[in-house]
Structure 1
Amino acid sequence: MRILLSAIYPFAFLLLYLIIPFDNYIRVLPNILVAVLVIAFPFVVKKDDFKKLKSLPILAFFGLIVYLLINSYFAGRFEEDITVINKVMVALGLAVLYIPVSDMNPSSGWAGKINSAIIFSALAAIIFSVYNFVLITDATGSFSLGESPQVVESLLIDRLYLGMLSTFSILISFQAIKKKYHPNNNYYLANILINAIFIVLMASKIAMVTLFLLLLVRQFYGQRKIWKVAIALGAMAAVVVLFFIIKSDTDFETSIKESKNNPPAFIENSLTYELRAVVWGCAQQIINEDEVPFNGIGFYNTKEKLVACYDSQILNPEKRKRFTTKRYNTHNQFLDFYLSAGFIALLLFLAFICFSFLSFRKQFFPTAMLTILVVYCMVENVFHRQIGAYYLGYIIIALTSSANHLKNNKAKIE
């Protein structure tokens, strides 16, 4: 029985990360797979596997979960905040469930077991999105790329997370390319090209900034050459330019020439706006006007206060209605932890990031993963979405596996 479960267990993980982008279409399957992993875990895990979790980053993240639970319980808001806390637990839980699986070194076969699922998942999401785009273009008789409603509606998942997935895929493929000629190098290069083009076509500015930052980080690894300095300076300049593009507070509104009939529903539902300036402004107002207690005001109450701010500060009635109806969160994970759970929660999350960086600063792949984590946490509340928890879980898995790979290499040398 144990042998059979041990053989099936890794493939359950592969399937889980392969279908995550299709959660809206097969919502029950990821939950079933997680349940299978939880049930099978006691039968496949070994005592030595738990040694993989012995690290300061994991300890800091576990401390964050414990603090959130205790803080929420004694503050009397456990039932209101448990939904978000559950997602924080899912991220670490996936890393724990992965410890019976062998190492995920990107240079190993299949580009590392779970990494192969990320690559094929990104390609499947791209194919699905392109197919949707063709159907929508044919239905509307118009063609538009970038931030157009057509692109927004055709994407399989939110542009932010699809950009994150493509960034993962590019990084994994880059790391898997071998220095000497290997037939698989062509496939990895093709995958990098496909995902990079897709990121540009869907105008995922956050993904573009992340890729430029990864290019900059890469220059600190390997042999130091003069041309690397030029690449680093170019990447820094590109990041600055893209930062100012993202920072612009102007609303994005697509003009649509309406016919006598009402426009298609997908156009009405896909108009997007630059909202972070408004959200962060309201968050800053809450900090300035309301003295945030040491233990925070709770995840639910944070949203309530933001909605109240939208209602009083946004003058445009249509925009105000949209913000209050959507109940936009802080769109910044660091800010969300500070407002919702207080300074200690923020400190523990920062400790997880800092300890991880100190542990892996000599390795490019885990450092790049941390870069992706920081960038997306600056513009999104990753723990407010199930997909965000899954992908943060993948980052923790990557960090844990990188640490074990380093330990194994040191043991071989000794």
Structure 2
Amino acid sequence: MRILLSAIYPYAFLLLYLIIPFDNYIRALPNILLAILVVAFPFIVKKEDFKKLKSFPIAVFLILFTYLIIDSSSSGRLFEDFNIIKKVMIAVGLAILYIPVADAKKINSAIIFSSLAAILFSVYNFVLITDAYGTFRLGDSPQVVESLLIDRLYLGLLCIFSILMSFQEIQKKYHPNNNYYLANILINAIFIVLIASKIAVVSLFVLLLIHQFYGKRKIWKIVIAIAAIAMVGALFLVVKNGKDIQLNQAVTQKKPPTFIEKSLTYEIRTVVWNCAQNIINEEGFTLTGIGFDTTKDRLVSCYETQIPNAKKREKFIAERYNTHNQFIDFYISAGVIALLLFLLFIATSFIAIRKQFFPTAMLAILLLYCMVENLFHRQIGAYYVGLILIVLMTSLKTKENKTIKTI
């Protein structure tokens, strides 16, 4: 029985990360796979596998999770906040459930094929929707927004993961598989540009910049780093100008289509960040926070008074938009202790894995996306934070993970 479960277990993990983007279509399957992993875990895990968890950054993240439970329980809001705490638990649980898996390359393959499947699905939808509309538009167009398998932010995140996994698998010496990995990198990079995922594009430039600190040929790397910084700066200017133009258009158009409004994510973040700042000013210094659910209620109250446009106000209230920043969310909802623990996790992780490009790049992605999204407010976000934890954990314990390749 144990031998059979040991053979099935890694492929259950692979299948889980393969189908995550299709959660809306096969919602029960990820939960079934998680149940299989939980049931099989005690039968196949070995005592030495737990050595992978013995690292200070992972310990800090476990302390953060424990603190969130204690903080919510002591404040009498565990029931209200459990929906968010549950997603933090998913990320922690995935890292723990992964420790019996010996071959780290399996999850890399799952991410690569998951991204390609999501791209193919989205392109197919785009063709159908374009045929229905009778027009062909890319970038921030309604066709693109409606055709994507998952939210653009998370699809861009998946593509970034796929690019990194492919780069990780490319061998220095010639190997036939290198061509496939290079092709996958190109496909994902082009797709990110076509769907106009700004945070994903910025992430690519940041990763290019980070990579210049690894390997030889320092002179050329410095040149590339300067070029990358210049391109990121130019990109921010273009984005800013684009936002100003779109904002003027939004003001002049009395009845903009709803699918265009959904694509104006910059406007959402501007409003919610202002409201979050108002809450911080009203609460002052908070040690334990006001709760995740209460934070949303306070944001909704802010939307009711701070948004003059009735249609826009109704949309914000109906959607109950969160803070769109994981750091702000931890501070307001769980206090400065949670924020400091999360920052400590990031800082200690960087110190521990700074000599390895791949885990450093994954940590940089986590940092960038936490600046514009509450990853623990979405189940898909929890899954991908779990992936980052797995990469960090296996990189911190390379002796227990012989198949991990460092660059």
Q: Does the 8 Å CA contact 1:279/1:330 hold for their aligned counterparts?
A: yes
Aligned match of 2:405: none
Aligned match of 2:253: none
Task: Give the AA of the match of 1:361.
Answer: R
Aligned match of 1:82: 82
Runs of 4+ in 1 over 6 A off after TM superposition: none
Aligned match of 1:240: 233
After TM superposition, list the pairs within 5 Å mapping 1:37-186 onto structure 2. Answer: 37-104=37-104, 112-186=105-179
After TM superposition, list the pairs within 5 Å mapping 1:384-403 onto structure 2. Answer: 384-403=377-396
1:201-249 deviations in whole A, cap 9, x for unaligned?
0000000000100000000000142111111011112222333455565
Identify if the C-alpha distance between structure 1 residues 244 and 184 changes in structure 2 by more than 3 Å, giving closer, same or farther.
same
Q: Aligned partners of 1:242 and 1:118: how far apart in 2? A: 28
The Cα shift of 1:398 comes to: 0.7
Structure 2's unaligned 5+ residue stretches are 251-255, 403-407
User: Is structure 2 residue 206 aligned with structure 1 residue 213?
Assistant: yes
Identify if the C-alpha distance between structure 1 residues 245 and 376 changes in structure 2 by more than 3 Å, giving closer, same or farther.
farther
Structure 1's unaligned 5+ residue stretches are 105-111, 256-262, 410-414
Task: Give the AA of the match of 1:75.
Answer: S
Aligned match of 2:345: 352
Q: Aligned partners of 1:144 and 1:276: how far apart in 2? A: 25
2:360 alignment partner, SS class? helix
Task: Give the AA of the match of 2:49.
Answer: D
Task: Give the AA of the match of 2:175.
Answer: H
Aligned match of 2:16: 16
Quick check: 218-227 or 246-255, which moved more?
246-255
Identify if the C-alpha distance between structure 1 residues 251 and 331 changes in structure 2 by more than 3 Å, giving closer, same or farther.
farther
1:255-282 deviations in whole A, cap 9, x for unaligned?
9xxxxxxx9x994785544211111111
User: Is structure 2 residue 280 aligned with structure 1 residue 287?
Assistant: yes
Task: Give the AA of the match of 1:285.
Answer: N
Identify if the C-alpha distance between structure 1 residues 217 and 225 changes in structure 2 by more than 3 Å, giving closer, same or farther.
same
Identify if the C-alpha distance between structure 1 residues 171 and 271 changes in structure 2 by more than 3 Å, giving closer, same or farther.
closer
Q: Does the 8 Å CA contact 1:366/1:398 hold for their aligned counterparts?
A: yes
Q: Does the 8 Å CA contact 1:103/1:404 hold for their aligned counterparts?
A: no
Aligned match of 2:35: 35
Q: Does the 8 Å CA contact 1:292/1:339 hold for their aligned counterparts?
A: no
1:39-92 deviations in whole A, cap 9, x for unaligned?
000001000000100000110000001110000001111100011001001101
The Cα shift of 1:142 comes to: 1.1
Task: Give the AA of the match of 2:281.
Answer: N
Q: Does the 8 Å CA contact 2:142/2:259 hold for their aligned counterparts?
A: yes
Q: Aligned partners of 1:266 and 1:287: how far apart in 2? A: 31
1:273-319 deviations in whole A, cap 9, x for unaligned?
42111111111111112335311010011111111111111111111
Task: Give the AA of the match of 1:227.
Answer: W
Q: Does the 8 Å CA contact 1:12/1:33 hold for their aligned counterparts?
A: yes
Q: Aligned partners of 2:159 and 2:240: how far apart in 1? A: 23
2:161 alignment partner, SS class? helix
User: Is structure 2 residue 168 aligned with structure 1 residue 201?
Assistant: no
1:105-159 deviations in whole A, cap 9, x for unaligned?
xxxxxxx110100000000000000000000011111111000111001000000
Task: Give the AA of the match of 1:44.
Answer: I
Aligned match of 1:3: 3
2:191 alignment partner, SS class? helix
The Cα shift of 1:406 comes to: 5.2
Q: Does the 8 Å CA contact 2:90/2:382 hold for their aligned counterparts?
A: yes
Amino-acid identity (%) = 67
1:94 alignment partner, SS class? helix
Q: Does the 8 Å CA contact 2:52/2:400 hold for their aligned counterparts?
A: no
Identify if the C-alpha distance between structure 1 residues 181 and 13 changes in structure 2 by more than 3 Å, giving closer, same or farther.
same
| Structure-1-length-normalised TM-score | 0.92
Aligned match of 1:313: 306
Q: Aligned partners of 1:325 and 1:144: how far apart in 2? A: 29
After TM superposition, list the pairs within 5 Å mapping 1:373-388 onto structure 2. Answer: 373-388=366-381
Q: Aligned partners of 1:271 and 1:369: how far apart in 2? A: 26
The number of residues matched between the two structures is 395
